[in-house]
Amino acid sequence: MSVNSFGHVFRFTTWGESHGPAIGAVVDGCPPGLALAEGDIQPWLDRRRPGTSRFTTQRQEPDRVRILSGTYEGRTTGTPISLLIDNVDQRSKDYSEVARAYRPGHADYAYEAKYGLRDPRGGGRSSARETASRVAAGAVARLVIPEVRLRAYLVELGGDAVDPAAFDDAEIDANPFFCPDPAAALRWEAIVDEARKAGSSVGAVVEVVTTGVPAGWGAPVYARLDAELAAALMGINAAKGVEVGDGFAAARATGVSNADAMRPGDAGPRFGSNHAGGILGGIATGQPVVARVAFKPTSSILTPVPTIDRTGQAADLRTVGRHDPCVAIRAVPVVEAMAALVLADHKLLHRAQCG
Amino acid sequence: MSVNSFGHVFRFTTWGESHGPAIGAVVDGCPPGLALAEGDIQPWLDRRRPGTSRFTTQRQEPDRVRILSGTYEGRTTGTPISLLIDNVDQRSKDYSEVARAYRPGHADYAYEAKYGLRDPRGGGRSSARETASRVAAGAVARLVIPEVRLRAYLVELGGDAVDPAAFDDAEIDANPFFCPDPAAALRWEAIVDEARKAGSSVGAVVEVVTTGVPAGWGAPVYARLDAELAAALMGINAAKGVEVGDGFAAARATGVSNADAMRPGDAGPRFGSNHAGGILGGIATGQPVVARVAFKPTSSILTPVPTIDRTGQAADLRTVGRHDPCVAIRAVPVVEAMAALVLADHKLLHRAQCG
Amino acid sequence: MSVNSFGHVFRFTTWGESHGPAIGAVVDGCPPGLALAEGDIQPWLDRRRPGTSRFTTQRQEPDRVRILSGTYEGRTTGTPISLLIDNVDQRSKDYSEVARAYRPGHADYAYEAKYGLRDPRGGGRSSARETASRVAAGAVARLVIPEVRLRAYLVELGGDAVDPAAFDDAEIDANPFFCPDPAAALRWEAIVDEARKAGSSVGAVVEVVTTGVPAGWGAPVYARLDAELAAALMGINAAKGVEVGDGFAAARATGVSNADAMRPGDAGPRFGSNHAGGILGGIATGQPVVARVAFKPTSSILTPVPTIDRTGQAADLRTVGRHDPCVAIRAVPVVEAMAALVLADHKLLHRAQCG
Amino acid sequence: MSVNSFGHVFRFTTWGESHGPAIGAVVDGCPPGLALAEGDIQPWLDRRRPGTSRFTTQRQEPDRVRILSGTYEGRTTGTPISLLIDNVDQRSKDYSEVARAYRPGHADYAYEAKYGLRDPRGGGRSSARETASRVAAGAVARLVIPEVRLRAYLVELGGDAVDPAAFDDAEIDANPFFCPDPAAALRWEAIVDEARKAGSSVGAVVEVVTTGVPAGWGAPVYARLDAELAAALMGINAAKGVEVGDGFAAARATGVSNADAMRPGDAGPRFGSNHAGGILGGIATGQPVVARVAFKPTSSILTPVPTIDRTGQAADLRTVGRHDPCVAIRAVPVVEAMAALVLADHKLLHRAQCG
């Protein structure tokens, strides 16, 4: 019931602020006996790490993870796995202005309305820095579901979509945009550069596909696999929309065009299409689970935006500091991590009830 | 942790199958002393009730709710409120075919993959009939948040959208589509009639707007108000997508165009726009909370669709029985109910932590 | 998180008041495919039923259970199992006095302090009638753990203990006290009769032994099997103490006398004794799980006790109505049910994490 | 639902093993704006710290706590509070024997039966070292309930009880036994010394009294204040029994002798006695909440005990290493902490539902 926890039986809790001494996650319910060392987590954090291209924030964080509990001689013991990442490059001086006035599009005003105070340094708890903890926890979740392959990537940036026909899995990690279409990746360089020059930013859409999810994972009615994916993905910073399968396009389809025909297959049915995105009634069908997340453009922009300060007076805020011109890029590993965390939880939950 | 429960401190559990003797909900955590009688719940159920126009299923269910616990002399006592609705018009004979073969687009195959067996009568637990329980529970939730006004309606059907300029709140309950635009409602009659004649069905998009949500409701990080709304709405039968605020359109906006400027207001800031949909960092800003849900077209169609039966053999299924040609229509009261349930929970959760 | 729910993955919620139309339980997370009909539940309710001897309340309740959901063709489907028991013999007229003044030893004052109002009819939600719902849910739990044998009985009544050497399992259901020692049962008849004649009541101690619990069920640290048993048993009406294994006697033992030696056995260790009561570190050792619960004497007595009324004025209350002279007697099936519910939950929870 | 978490809305999760790099707790749901610095936590840890007298283990741990998140400028922000305590004095070499054979009375065998492997160093997660995390979390809980005074102390050691007439609150922190009776404390020195010389250990009983708990905290039915206290206290290492109010003595009382008469008082009733221990129907009555916990004697003793090793062969284990001759002594601050954690949670839970 902790609001900073997620999951039923494979459950993690994160803590930490952008400019505190460290951030971290505690993963509970992990099966015992899994090989786990820091080297299993670090690559995923490196993938999300800031400062690796000119298209992400220049904050330099090594994001070195330490496992403080839950393993013995390189294997999980079934007890809570505490993961800690030190904050190294906190330039709190950049945030004096933020302490005074509320950044439009950020959680500053909402946090203060809720709590009566807030940690203004880098957005405190509301910073996307928190997502490093998710990526670390997600790396543990991946070990729980070796049968599943997860793949997230950008399918649209600044309104410019990839060409599905040009999809190349090998491209995803070969450009700074996690973009499966090399031609689109080239176009996006220009789009992002231009947005930055204009003191602005761009949004994007991330797609995640998981293959190997067995039919039967998931649960009615309020722990539906799609509902929990929706919560997991909408809960990522800057997310504004989530789709499963055809999503909003399904609302424009007809019952005939939207039907996923089934034919006898080797193991279970062979589906003629996957409009459903691999989930029916909240339960996996065995097809790839497909979801998309819409991310708004970064709210921290160099163009001044009218706002108010803590005393209620008008102010104009121009967000200095180091920021991602398109937050969705670094969200890709986070989307994968959240999907892994949901699936690991549902694997164990399914095992609990159905053996 | 029950998969058939929802909420943190205002929490409800539903039970029941489409063709069992009854369905129901247990609402726990309701504040004491609220005036509550069956007459406070019935109107909302009547709004969702099938058989009220030719655009919804002809199943005749009075959906008469009984309060079995949790009230005394017309007031809530703080103990669990048990709500029961008898199933009256179960024509189980219609479902013999369903018992044999899996209906494409339905949860038949997924349930059987999960549980090894299923109740085929009307889809059993996976039937949209379950949503009557949510509407009943939602009626209780409404009493907890008198400061909030909830309004859901269709904004698009079969790809045909309402004209925002023609929005008329009074129209919503004046046509069979919960459509705020009378011209669109007329067009939709033809669209639905045509789909039905073609042995098909149509999808639609429901929008829900809640006004009066105080700044501060909601919570970081995994109980974000938007994440929980996403789960609540994606968990409704046939939902395939959820947006908050500008949603997927935000992914096409720039940081400059997407900024919601703030100016000094009478109580808190006056916002220049509401791209965010009233939520930042998972916490309400005091603006209207706006969300949209995409519903796929009804999967039960008279056009035969290839499928397999329980023995794995090929079959063609033409879904006879009584069905909604557009499930999204009757989803409108369900969307409102789920929004009310999320907000009531977050009101109490906020009070727990922040007094 | 619902305060009227219990369990992690095998979870039940109860609802209902003593003099409302009905009481019930919703069981969620039950494995699918188990044979379940009302006849599997009714015998356990009959065992707890009031009015079966002169040593229990004369309220006549048939306690007929109905299964409203979660089964199909006599098997559990994996969806919530709704169990309903009608209240038949509510003599609300007996409780007008209770509505005016607070019964000492009852929850009347505490409920009103919490909620500002209360249902005075038979104690409302605080009545031991609620435990019928637990017994019904417990009957389902038993089906989940066929490897476990549960046995509860009274070991002490009115300060008079059974002779362990005279323990006879067959006696437990052969006398009105669930007493394993026939000589003690005879003595207890006199003790209870005398207490009733004196306008008083007596307390008692119930012991529960479960055999067949495999080593490994349970969990560190806050879901310890002993901690959850303690919560489950202390949560029964009138319970004031819980022990596992030697309990309070262990506090008087030495490390040498309290040691349970282990020797090689056929499957796992053979233990030389069971001071621990079958649980170490919160996890079952494979030995019988042994617990005891102390029940206070019935608070409803014919001897007047000083109290106050709702206006704060002094009053003397003599509890008329129909009451058990020793509530612990009918608590025996409830203790068994709660133990079954805890164990079924931990079986599934163990399976979730450890496969 | 995490098994290493406790609480509903004020919820904490602990992690860490006896001989890992560190242990810690994450506290979620803490109200914002409370003054909190490490100096508010350290004194409680110092009280529990080992090595402070010859009656506790000689392991030297400074138990220096660090707050890694959740505060800003000395005040809680409402976000998770991460507390970390480094393990400093881990002599893992002492535990090679433990890795080979199961220590009787310890969780070694049970953990291995559950998980298939275990961290043998100092008992790993099952070590009482974990309770330092609880004391740290409990220090935060205390700040949430300034209206409550908590006081725990030993009332019995090695079967030798304090004289209630000699109770002196000032004595509790003036001797190494948290003993309120100076004469008993003197006797206990001899008892503990003798047990140690005999290669044995002793058990004890801890009592905790909380005053200032307002009538109304607590909740029916499965979150009863007494049930949650029972879980919290039974979940402490080596606990074998829990009582509330008169506890097991109530089972020997009559309804007449056990009645707590009420008379008109200044604010609410004035009670003539407190047999109930301040809780009725799971809800506080406004009287002091009184509970007792029985702790078994330390299982680590120098006298060899028959056991088996991991291969199932017979072995004799003589527990070398540094151990408390009476674990109950250092459990006193843990009992206080757990009581504080339960009460803080119920304060907020009550506020959620009842405002």
Full pLDDT tens readout for chain A, 355 residues: 589 999 999 999 999 999 999 999 999 999 999 999 999 999 999 998 877 777 877 777 789 999 999 999 999 999 999 999 999 876 656 677 788 899 999 999 999 999 999 999 989 999 999 999 999 999 999 999 999 999 999 999 999 999 999 999 999 999 999 999 999 999 999 999 999 999 999 999 999 999 999 999 999 999 999 999 999 999 999 999 999 999 999 999 999 999 999 999 988 899 999 999 999 999 999 999 999 999 999 999 999 999 999 999 999 888 766 678 999 999 999 999 999 999 999 999 999 999 9
| CA max distance for chain C | 68
CB contact, 8 Å: A116 with chain D?
Answer: yes
- Which of D277, D259, D278, D226 lies closest to C298, judged by CA? D259
The H-assigned helical ranges of D198-324 are 225-234, 255-258
User: Over 70: is that where the pLDDT of D1 sits?
Assistant: no
Tokens of A184: 């689109």
Q: Where are the alpha helices (DSSP H) in chain D?
A: 38-48, 96-100, 108-115, 131-144, 182-197, 225-234, 255-258, 327-354
Helix D225-234 × helix C225-234 angle, to 10°? 160
Contacts of D229 in chain C (CB under 8 A): 234
Q: What is the pLDDT confidence band of residue D323, given thresholds at 50, 70 and 90?
A: confident
Interface check B82 vs C, CB under 8 A: yes
Return the closest-CA partner of residue C295 out of C319, C315, C265, C324.
Answer: C324
Phi, psi at C233, each rounded to 5°: -85, -40
| Assigned token pair, B211 | 């006004």
What letter would DSSP give residue C35?
Answer: B
pLDDT tens digits, D198-237? 999 999 999 999 999 999 999 999 999 999 999 999 999 9
Please report residues of C whose CB lies closer than 8 A to that of A351.
351-352, 355
User: What separation in angstroms does the CA of D131 have from each of A95, C53, D15, D38, D107?
Assistant: 38, 48, 10, 18, 16
Across the interface, whether the CB atoms of A21 and D66 are under 8 A apart is answered: yes
Distance from CA of B75 to the nearest CA of A (A): 28
User: CB contacts < 8 Å between A and D, how many?
Assistant: 156
Q: What is the pLDDT of residue B50?
A: 72
Q: In whole numbers, what is the pLDDT of chain B averaged over residues? A: 94
Cβ(B58)–Cβ(B106) below 8 Å: no
Least Cα distance to D216 among D286, D141, D287 occurs for D286
How far apart CA D210 and CA D198 sit, in angstroms, is 37
Is 0.90 surpassed by the pTM of this model?
Answer: yes
Out of B1, B31, B353, closest to residue D354 by CB: B31
- The backbone torsions φ and ψ at residue B170, rounded to the nearest 5 degrees and listed phi first, read -65, -25
Distance CA C329, CA A76 (A): 46
In the chain, the amino acid numbered C31 is P
What's chain B look like in SS3?
CCCCEECCCCEEEEEECCCCCEEEEEEECCCCCCECCHHHHHHHHHHHCCCCCCCCCCCCCCCCEEECCCEECCEECCCCEEEEEECCCCCHHHHHHHHHECCCCCCHHHHHHHHCCCCCHHHHHHCHHHHHHHHHHHHHHHHHCCCCEEEEEEEEECCEECCHHHCCHHHHHHCCCCCCCHHHHHHHHHHHHHHHHCCCCECEEEEEEEECCCCCCECCCCCCHHHHHHHHHHCCCCEEEEEECCHHHHHHCEHHHHCCCEEECCCCEEECCCCCCCEECCEECCCCEEEEEEECCCCCCCCCEEEEECCCCEEEECCCCCCCCCHHHHHHHHHHHHHHHHHHHHHHHHHHHHC
Q: What six digits make up the tokens of A186?
A: 């080239």
Predicted pLDDT at A1:
55
**Is B208 or C266 the better-scoring residue by pLDDT?**
B208
Alpha helices for chain C (secondary structure H): 38-48, 96-100, 108-115, 131-144, 182-197, 225-234, 255-258, 327-354
* C163 burial via Cβ count (<10 Å: 0-12, 13-18, 19+): exposed
Contact between D75 and D33 (Cβ < 8 Å): yes
Q: How far apart are CA D30 and CA B330, in angstroms?
A: 41
Best mutation target among C14, C17, C23, C34 (most B Cβ atoms within 10 Å) is C17
The residue assigned the tokens 């929706």 is A230
pLDDT of D56 reads 77
Pick among A82, A221, A353, A354 to test the C interface (most C CBs inside 10 A)? A353
Residue C98, pLDDT score = 81
Share of chain D above pLDDT 90, in %: 87
CB contact under 8 A, D285 and C113: yes
pLDDT at A255: 96
Backbone torsions φ then ψ of D31, nearest 5 degrees? -55, 150
Question: What pLDDT, on a 0 to 100 scale, did the predictor assign at position D94?
Answer: 64
Contact A351 C349 (CB under 8 A): no
pLDDT at residue D93 tops 80: no
* Chain D residues with beta carbon closer than 8 angstroms to that of A124: 72, 77, 79
Integer Cα distance of D275 and D258 in angstroms: 6
Closest residue of chain D to C274, computed from CA coordinates: D105
DSSP, collapsed to helix, strand or coil, labels residue C343 as helix
* Token pair listed for B340: 């009310």
| Residues of D in Cβ contact (< 8 Å) with A119 | 72, 77, 79
DSSP state of A175: S
Count the residues in chain B: 355
d(CA C136, CA C42) in angstroms, rounded, equals 8
Sign of CA dihedral C179, C185, C190, C191: negative
Nearest to A191 by CA among A162, A170, A218: A162
Residue D5's nearest CA partner among D133, D145, D142, D150 is D133
Six-digit token string for D249: 């003595």
Q: Using CB atoms, which chains have 3+ pairs under 8 A with D?
A: A, B, C
Q: How is residue B273 written in tokens?
A: 């726009």
pLDDT interval class at B93 (50, 70, 90): low
| A:11-40 residues touching chain D, CB 8 A cutoff | 11, 13-17, 20-24, 26, 28-29, 32-33
Residue D326 and residue D157 in contact, taking contact as beta carbons nearer than 8 Å: yes
Separation CA D116–CA A76 (nearest Å): 11
Integer angstrom CA distances of residue A114 from A165, A315, D80: 47, 22, 15
Question: Alpha-carbon Rg of chain D, whole angstroms?
Answer: 21
User: Which residues make beta-bridge pairs with D156?
Assistant: D161, D205
Please report the beta strands in A44-171, taking only residues with DSSP state E, as ranges in sequence order: 65-67, 71-72, 75-76, 81-86, 149-157, 160-161
pLDDT confidence of residue B29:
98
- ipTM value of the model? 0.96
Dist CA C235 CA B133 (whole Å): 29
Q: Dig out the tokens for D189 from the structure.
A: 């020195």
Tell me the average pLDDT of chain D. 94
Judge whether C203 and C299 are in contact, CB under 8 Å.
Answer: no
- Strand B269-271 and strand B262-264: the pairing is antiparallel
Min Cα distance D322 → chain A (Å) is 22
What percentage of chain B has pLDDT greater than the value 70? Answer: 97
**Nearest in space to A77 (alpha carbons), one of D21, C353, D117:** D117
Higher pLDDT, C89 or D116: D116
User: Over 80: is that where the pLDDT of D112 sits?
Assistant: yes
Phi-psi region of C41 (alpha: psi -120 to 50; beta: other; left: phi over 0): alpha
Residue type at D23 in one-letter notation: I
Tell which wins on pLDDT, D183 or D97: D183
Q: Which residues of chain C have pLDDT under 50?
A: none
Tokens representing residue B229 in the block: 């709304």
Nearest chain A residue to B313 by CA distance is A264
Nearest C-alpha in C relative to B86: C68
Query: DSSP state, D162?
Result: P
